[in-house]
Structures are given as structure tokens and as C-alpha cells.
Amino acid sequence: MNIIETERLTKTYRRFKKPEGLSGSIKSLWKREYEEKAAVRDFDFTLQEGEFIGLIGPNGAGKTTLTKMLTGIIAPTSGRIHVMGFYPNDLKNEFKRQYAVVMGQKSQLFFELTANDTLRLFKEIYELDEKQFRETRAYFTELFHVRELMDMQVRTLSLGERMKMELMVALLHNPRILFLDEPSIGLDAIASNQIRRFLKQVNRERGTSIILTSHYMEDIATLCDRSVVIHHGCKVYDGRTDALFARYQKNKKITATFSQELPPAQGPAAENPAPLPGQAGGQSPRQLPCWEVLERTPHKLTVLVPKEEAGAALAAIMPWGPTDISVEEDEIGTVVERIYQEGAKGVAL
């Protein structure tokens, strides 16, 4: 069942252009120039009940504008939009009670109140009965492991602790859809992993549909089975996250350590083509132009190879008897940069 449907959804802004200086300001009193900027263009999108999807795009791509239209904050210029059977910009109370928004850079908490008092305040806003409130609070207190923090002022909490409280407040009324905009921004690795684990559990156990916008692609890769890439307001990809990343994972980084010293390189070890280990038995190292040496010490070798050459690279290194060997894919940030570059060139992903 689709709970969000859009068809040719478009949002265009009209912006005033003023010439520089005082004379330009005076001239603009009589004659003004405007330009139109399409923040979102002809956007077709669906979300099924219980889905957890990632919304990917560089700054200015239109992600926030799309989220604002889906939540009714702004009205579209044209196109069709239905969210849970409502036209969002009508802002009916029945609609607003069924979604929640969490923004990593904007807080909805009251910093002078304790976490418990803040939850009590939102209980009244959403008109929850006492039994439902207590059950939901107990569930999330246990899930987030924050029982000892509930009577602390919000302003005394760490950034990671406050984000847990933000999620508790957002999920208190059991929304059908949760919109997350950079929820892990500024968090350390431990807090980010905790937030990811909690979100996955909420999606699985409570059936909450989640739309996640994040520049931390580890969030997207870990949480979202489906991803939508938006660039210059247009959708350039909508499909499985693993397929998207697999398409743009072009290299493998192989790191091997050795108990015995490697033979000296024939020429500068950092150049490409680079001399690398060959077969055992004292044979000369062989040249493989597709390998790029990232690091070479007497007991360690790190090379970057095209993913289709990873097997050959391992076969060449193994006869030297490495004590440890690891194979890593391209960093997620590198992959996303490639995605954005193709989107900027108008290449359909």
C-alpha cells in the first residue's frame, strides 16, 4: 500500500535580482528583474507502508524542499501529491498527527525542561491518553537506554543523548511516517551507530515508514534497502541501495602485511605502473600497470586495483606468504561523489 504518491511534482521559486549599489537599488523601485528557480521538477515518487528509504543528493539538490512539500510546510507549484490520503498543504490535524520530523540542525526540545517534562508537554499537544503515554515512554526509554537521563534538564545532555530525546519526542504519538533530515550530524561514531540501530528497530518492530536524508552515506548504506538520488530537483535514480553502490564501487584496496621483508622495489614504489611481488622462488617482481601502490614498507603493501582485477592481485600477493590480508571497497564518500558527478552531467543512473 502506497502512503505517499507524487506525480510530476514541481516547486518553483521566483527570486528578485537587484543590480549592485545604490543606483541599482533606486532603479529596482520602478523596474524589477526576477528569475525563476525550480527547486523540484517533475518528481514522481511513491512510498509503501513500512519502507525505510534514503534520499541522497548534494546541497541544493531539492531534498529539503521535497520534504517540506510532503509535510505540508510549503505548497507545490504544480503536480499531484497525496500523503496518507491527504493533500499535505491543507494542514489538517488528522494529517499532522500521523507524521513526525526530526532535523539534526533544529531542535524541538525545551532545553530548560527535563526529558520527562518535555515528553509530558508533547503528550498534551498530541492529546495522548495516560496509558498510551506511559507504555510508549517505557518502550523508548528501554530501547534507547536512557532511564537515568529522564529527570535531567535537556541542556545538560550531550549531543548524542539529545538526539535520542528528539527521536523519543518525534515517535511519542506513534506516527506512520518519520522524516529524518541529517539525524546523525555532529555525532561521534558510537552515537551514530546507536541511532542507526534504534531506527532500524523502530522500523522493524513498530512498522514506521522512514524517509532518511543524510550526507553520511554510511547511514544510507546501513539502513536503507531503497535509495532515491535527486540532483538539481530531478530524480536521477530510484532503486535498491546495494545496486546503486555496486555500480559505482570501481576499486578494491588490498592491504597485506608480511613477517619477512619484501624485496626492494625496482624503481619508485609509489609510481604507476609499480613493481609488486611476483611468484615465489626468487623470481623478479612483475609489473602490473593497473595496480596503484598506496603504501609500501618492508613489511606492508597496500595497493589499489580495479575490482575486476582483485582476484589477480590476490593471486600475485599470496605466494609471498602474507601474515594478514584485507580487502576493502571504495570509501562511501568516493562512491557518492561519482554518483553526483554523473547526475551533474545529466547521466541517468
Mean pLDDT of 278-290: 43
Rounded CA gap, 238 and 224, in Å?
12
Could you tell me if residue 121 is inside a domain?
A: yes
Mean pLDDT value of segment 294-316? 82
The answer, yes or no, to whether residue 144 has pLDDT greater than 90, is no
Q: How many domains does the chain have?
A: 2
* pLDDT-derived band at 283, boundaries 50, 70, 90: very low
- Encode pLDDT of 202-222 as tens digits: 999 889 999 998 877 778 888
Residue 269: pLDDT band (50, 70, 90) is: very low
Provide the pLDDT for residue 176: 94
Q: Which of 157, 192, 170, 178 is nearest to 84 (CA)?
A: 178
Q: How far apart are the first and last CA of the chain?
A: 26
Query: Does residue 349 form part of some domain?
Result: no
Q: Which of 112, 153, 348 is nearest to 161 (CA)?
A: 153
Contacts (Cβ under 8 Å, ≥6 apart) of 247: 349
Residue 117, CB-side half-sphere exposure with 13 Å CA sphere: 9
- CB-neighbour burial class of residue 305 (10 A; exposed 0-12, middle 13-18, buried 19+): buried
Predicted pLDDT at 347 = 47
Q: Yes or no: say if 241 and 52 are a contact pair by the CB < 8 Å rule.
A: no
63 shares its domain with 174: yes
Note the pLDDT of residue 75. Answer: 93
Q: Is the pLDDT of residue 10 over 80?
A: yes
| CATH number for the domain harbouring residue 298 | 3.90.930
Q: Are residues 270 and 142 in the same domain?
A: no
- Of 199, 225, 247, the residue at which a domain comes to its end is 247
The residue behind cell 535520542 is: 164
Query: Which secondary-structure segment (H or E) carries 222?
Result: helix 217-223
In a domain, 19, yes or no: no
What secondary structure does DSSP assign to 300-312, as a single string? EEEEEEEGGGHHH
The residue out of 225, 247, 269 marking a domain boundary is: 247
Domain that holds residue 189: 49-247
CATH code, domain with 113: 3.40.50.300
Measured CA to CA, the distance from residue 243 to residue 48 in angstroms comes to: 20
Question: C-alpha cell of 209?
Answer: 515508514
pTM for this predicted structure: 0.75
Q: What is the pLDDT of residues 151-187, one digit of tens each?
A: 999 899 888 888 889 999 999 999 999 999 888 777 7
